[in-house]
């Protein structure tokens, strides 16, 4: 028995509602250009779920390195059907979202995508569509998502549990099923990346041009990829990326790739990861078999030393309490992944700041293993998430010892799990009652899914 299973399942449902906008962009820009026949696999009231939507969502999950399990397809289908049901009931209950709310949400999401590409102009060039047209295309999708969120909030309300309910939840877990909780850490980090100089970029680009010249003179692409590529996922395979689809790669890479003819080499392409030389193996509509060689511009020793010196100055202010860790992170850190969370690392499975010892990055673990709670490490060189050199110091905020789950040490976790269980129970009752009042069609393939049992009349 998993103590927090109900909490995880409930979060999955909520996550799906948020993720659909990303899938919508991929669906519009990539799949809609395909000639593959589609199929309606679900109907709720006057809303339909298409087979292509499930496929694209699964592809997007894989592209983002999200775990894919045998039950993932069922969960994705349930998420789509859940959103349709929530929207249908929101319409019945006369729940509304204003045009201003829709436009604000559209602006927020479009700004996110534009930031990923680099500029509004690059975004419009890549998708061959002006921003205004994008917003028009996705107004209905965003409206449905906001309606679904509002309806869901109406159902679960401000769900709370009393200490008595938390104790009851804990007591219902068989003693021999209480999980053994590993040591957990709360870890903060401040990272300062040195600026990559123009000279370093030009040197890297020249190196890749030299490699391209060798390949054009008869040296095999695969041998050069194995020798020089800095992409850990493809270098050992001769740069082979396998079969990729539109929407899976960063825009600059994808735009260059799909302009190539079979067997053709690209110009040198710059992305957020570095410089690429791409080889088109074979194009298949919106899919392509491709290979690439990645070279990453390096920071010079002077640049790294400057970043370390700046970070050491920041650390001294934090240690002396003249600057809080959070404010220092907001002001100086260049790592967007942790900066948005006050510098705190997150558990990849739960989103919590409490990280199981087994999930801590080995390089970080070796630093904190000898630290006491509350201490700050000395600034040191590290590798960022995209493999580049940077300067970092870490803060060991808290540490728990390995133990069996108990009310004293794990009350907050048990409380969250009890709340999520209560919310899930509310949703299950609501689903059963609401399904009975709506026209529902479920494709035979998904009737066997555990999550759809309450949907079958």
DSSP string computed for 44-60: ETTEEEEHHHHHHHHHH
pLDDT at position 220 is: 96
Task: Tell me, yes or no, whether 146 and 273 share the same domain.
Answer: no
* DSSP alpha helix (H) spans, 93-197: 99-117, 120-127, 131-156, 163-171
CA angle 341, 385, 253 (to 5 degrees): 115
- Are the CB atoms for 391 and 304 separated by under 8 Å? yes
Which secondary-structure segment (H or E) carries 296? none
Q: What is the pLDDT of residues 407-431, one digit of tens each?
A: 998 898 899 889 999 999 999 999 9
Distance of CA 381 to the CA centre of its chain: 26
Separation CA 235–CA 248 (nearest Å): 19
Task: Tell me, yes or no, whether 21 and 147 share the same domain.
Answer: yes
Task: Tell me, yes or no, whether 149 and 21 share the same domain.
Answer: yes
Task: Tell me, yes or no, whether 287 and 321 share the same domain.
Answer: no
CATH number, domain at 251?
3.10.50.40
pLDDT higher than threshold 60 for residue 37:
no
Tell me the pLDDT of the chain averaged across its residues: 86
Q: What is the pLDDT of residues 53-88, one digit of tens each?
A: 898 888 878 877 788 888 999 999 999 999 999 999
Task: Tell me, yes or no, whether 260 and 329 share the same domain.
Answer: no
Please state the domain count of the chain. 3
Give how far Cα 374 sits from Cα of 48, 150, 158, 206, 329, Å.
53, 41, 34, 46, 16
Task: Tell me, yes or no, whether 11 and 103 share the same domain.
Answer: yes
Query: What is the reported pTM?
Result: 0.56
Task: Tell me, yes or no, whether 23 and 78 share the same domain.
Answer: yes
Task: Tell me, yes or no, whether 431 and 380 share the same domain.
Answer: no
Task: Tell me, yes or no, whether 107 and 120 share the same domain.
Answer: yes
- The mean-pLDDT minimum among 123-132, 331-340, 341-350, 369-378 falls in 123-132
Separation CA 237–CA 100 (nearest Å): 50
Structural domain of 382: 183-195+300-401
pLDDT at position 126 is: 75
Task: Tell me, yes or no, whether 93 and 80 share the same domain.
Answer: yes
- Are the CB atoms for 142 and 11 separated by under 8 Å? no
Task: Tell me, yes or no, whether 281 and 140 share the same domain.
Answer: no
CATH number, domain at 162?
1.10.4030.10
> Of 244, 278, 295, which residue constitutes the final position of a domain?
295
- Span 320-346, average pLDDT: 92
- The mean-pLDDT minimum among 3-17, 163-177, 323-337, 395-409 falls in 3-17
- The mean-pLDDT minimum among 32-41, 98-107, 201-210 falls in 32-41
> Of 264, 295, 326, which residue constitutes the final position of a domain?
295
Neighbours of 380 (CB within 10 A): 13
pLDDT at position 22 is: 43
Separation CA 244–CA 303 (nearest Å): 36
- Exposed, middle or buried, 292 (CB in 10 Å: 0-12/13-18/19+)? buried
> Of 359, 384, 401, which residue constitutes the final position of a domain?
401
Task: Label the pairing between strands 184-192 and 274-284.
Answer: unpaired
Which secondary-structure segment (H or E) carries 310? helix 301-319
At what angle are helices 5-29 and 51-63 packed, to 10 degrees?
110
Q: How many residues does the chain have?
A: 457
- Are the CB atoms for 151 and 87 separated by under 8 Å? yes
Task: Tell me, yes or no, whether 29 and 155 share the same domain.
Answer: yes
């Amino acid at each position: 028995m998993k103590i927090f299973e109900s909490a995880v399942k409930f979060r999955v449902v909520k996550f799906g509602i948020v993720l659909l906008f990303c899938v919508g962009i991929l669906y519009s820009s990539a799949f809609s250009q395909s000639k593959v026949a589609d199929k309606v696999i679900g109907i709720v009231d006057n809303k339909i779920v298409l087979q292509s939507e499930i496929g694209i969502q699964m592809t997007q999950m894989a592209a983002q390195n999200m775990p894919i399990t045998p039950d993932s397809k069922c969960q994705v289908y349930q998420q789509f059907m859940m959103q349709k049901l929530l929207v249908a009931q929101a319409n019945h209950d006369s729940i509304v979202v204003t045009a201003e709310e829709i436009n604000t949400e559209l602006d927020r999401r479009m700004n996110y995508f534009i930031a990923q590409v680099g500029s509004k102009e690059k975004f419009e060039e890549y998708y061959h569509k002006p921003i205004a047209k994008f917003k028009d295309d996705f107004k209905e999708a965003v409206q449905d998502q906001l309606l679904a969120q509002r309806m869901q909030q109406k159902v679960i309300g401000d769900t709370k549990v009393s200490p008595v309910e938390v104790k009851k939840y804990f007591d219902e877990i068989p003693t021999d099923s209480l999980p053994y909780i590993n040591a957990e850490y709360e870890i903060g980090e401040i990272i300062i990346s040195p600026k990559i100089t123009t000279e370093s970029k030009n040197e890297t680009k020249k190196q890749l041009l030299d490699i391209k010249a060798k390949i054009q003179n008869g040296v095999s692409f695969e041998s050069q990829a194995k020798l020089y590529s800095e992409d850990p996922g493809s270098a050992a395979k001769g740069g082979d990326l396998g079969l990729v689809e539109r929407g899976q790669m960063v825009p600059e890479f994808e735009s260059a790739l799909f302009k190539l003819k079979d067997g053709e080499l690209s110009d040198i392409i710059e992305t957020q990861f570095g410089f690429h030389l791409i080889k088109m193996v074979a194009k298949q509509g919106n899919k392509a078999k491709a290979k690439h060689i990645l070279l990453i511009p390096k920071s010079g020793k002077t640049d790294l030393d400057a970043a370390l010196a700046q970070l050491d100055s920041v650390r001294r202010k934090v240690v002396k309490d003249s600057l809080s860790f959070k404010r220092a992170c907001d002001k100086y850190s260049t790592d967007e992944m942790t900066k948005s969370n006050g510098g705190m690392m997150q558990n990849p499975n739960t989103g919590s700041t409490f990280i199981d010892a087994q999930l801590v990055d080995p390089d970080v673990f070796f630093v904190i293993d000898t630290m006491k709670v509350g201490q700050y490490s000395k600034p040191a060189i590290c590798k960022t998430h995209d493999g580049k050199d940077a300067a970092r110091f870490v803060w060991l905020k808290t540490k728990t010892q390995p133990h069996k789950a108990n009310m004293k040490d794990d009350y907050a976790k048990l409380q969250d799990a009890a709340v999520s269980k209560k919310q899930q129970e509310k949703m299950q009752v609501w689903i059963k009652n609401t399904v009975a009042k709506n026209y529902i069609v479920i494709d035979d393939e998904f009737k066997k899914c555990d999550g759809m049992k309450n949907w079958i009349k």
